[in-house]
């Protein structure tokens, strides 16, 4: 895959499942990341073709739970992100999914405790035997490993989402590398894609919260009403039998940004126990809920 001049859906835990990735792609995303999957979990999975859905499922042995679901429609677009603290185990995990995705990404940026405590995500930035601590030198060293592209979030580990993204520091990385750099941070409107490109010198942009709040941010003609986006997300969740907890989490995040969970819609989502309940709530009853 070519990583220049691309609009990218960022990896988001419990959000970046198949329905949301397909939703973002429908609205204009060129590349869609799945949620981070820990290598320990993936190596316990076996690949299965789901005839009812027409999907490829990676199912955990023993529990039967679907850890990752994809389909042919996104094969040339989806990036699988691995959370890892061990190169050998990461390679083993990548080999399991590599034929069904367009690329594999190693998470080296997540500052959340569940990643850092396991030596993954941003914890990798503190290991001098693996990488340098200085941002530009780190990027150069990563480039030398042979990676195809590098996504850079314009924040430090200790920064919080409310802190402004440091686009100028992304620009320093872009200037130091020859491989494509994907800039990430504070993209909330379609116009921000061009703004961050100009500020950083990169041609590809990744968006997380802006897409979560309204996935139609990728539309050149402007965002669609978020009510329509929510309804389409629920329809896709039903069509692809998405995990109810994941679907509810995503809807709650959308509602929290635009409204309040204390109002009728939020309370109804929280009380919903199945995709059928959500179908009724959002007027998507004409979509059959597939029971695996």
pLDDT at 107 over 90: no
Where on the phi/psi map is residue 101: left (φ > 0), alpha (ψ -120 to 50), or beta? beta
Model confidence pLDDT, tens digit, residues 238-286? 999 999 999 999 999 999 999 999 999 999 999 999 999 999 999 876 6
Q: What's the predicted TM-score (pTM) here?
A: 0.88
pLDDT at 124 over 80: no
CATH of 7-218, one of 3.40.50.10130, 3.40.50.2300, 3.20.20.70, 3.40.50.2000: 3.20.20.70
> Is residue 110 among the annotated active site residues?
yes
Q: Where are the domains of the chain?
A: 7-218, 226-281
| Mean per-residue pLDDT of the chain | 88
CA distance 266 to 69: 27
According to the model, what pLDDT value does residue 116 have? 44
Model confidence pLDDT, tens digit, residues 131-152? 434 778 878 888 898 889 999 9
Instruction: Name the active-site residue from 45, 71, 98, 110.
Output: 110
* Mean pLDDT, residues 104-114 taken together: 65
DSSP per-residue string spanning 209-270: HHHHH-GGGG-TT-PPPHHHHHHHHHHHHHHTT--HHHHHHHHHHHHHHHS-TTSHHHHHHH
């Amino acid at each position: 895959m070519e990583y220049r001049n691309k609009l990218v859906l960022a990896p988001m835990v419990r959000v970046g499942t198949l329905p949301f990735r397909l939703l973002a792609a429908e609205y204009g995303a060129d590349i869609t990341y799945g949620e981070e999957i820990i290598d320990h979990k993936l190596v316990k999975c076996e690949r299965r073709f789901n005839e009812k859905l027409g999907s490829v499922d990676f199912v955990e042995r023993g529990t039967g739970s679907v850890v990752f679901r994809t389909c042919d429609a996104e094969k040339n677009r989806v990036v699988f992100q691995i959370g890892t603290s061990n190169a050998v185990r990461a390679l083993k995990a990548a080999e399991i999914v590599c034929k069904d995705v367009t690329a594999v990404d190693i998470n080296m940026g997540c500052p959340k405790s569940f990643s850092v405590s396991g030596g993954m995500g941003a914890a990798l930035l503190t290991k001098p035997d693996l990488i340098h601590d200085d941002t530009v030198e780190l990027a150069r060293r990563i480039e030398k490993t042979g990676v195809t592209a590098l996504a850079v979030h314009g924040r430090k580990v200790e920064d919080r989402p409310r802190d402004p993204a440091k686009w100028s520091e992304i620009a320093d990385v872009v200037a130091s590398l020859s491989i494509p750099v994907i800039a990430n941070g504070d993209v909330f409107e379609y116009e921000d894609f061009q703004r961050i490109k100009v500020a950083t010198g990169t041609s590809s942009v990744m968006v997380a919260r802006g897409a979560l709040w309204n996935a139609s941010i990728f539309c050149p003609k402007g965002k669609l009403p978020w009510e329509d986006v929510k309804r389409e997300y629920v329809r896709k969740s039903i069509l692809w039998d998405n995990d109810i907890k994941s679907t509810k989490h995503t809807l709650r995040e959308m509602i929290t940004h635009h409204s309040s969970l204390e109002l009728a819609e939020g309370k109804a989502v929280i009380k919903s126990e199945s995709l059928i309940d959500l179908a009724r709530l959002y007027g998507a009853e004409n979509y059959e809920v597939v029971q695996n």
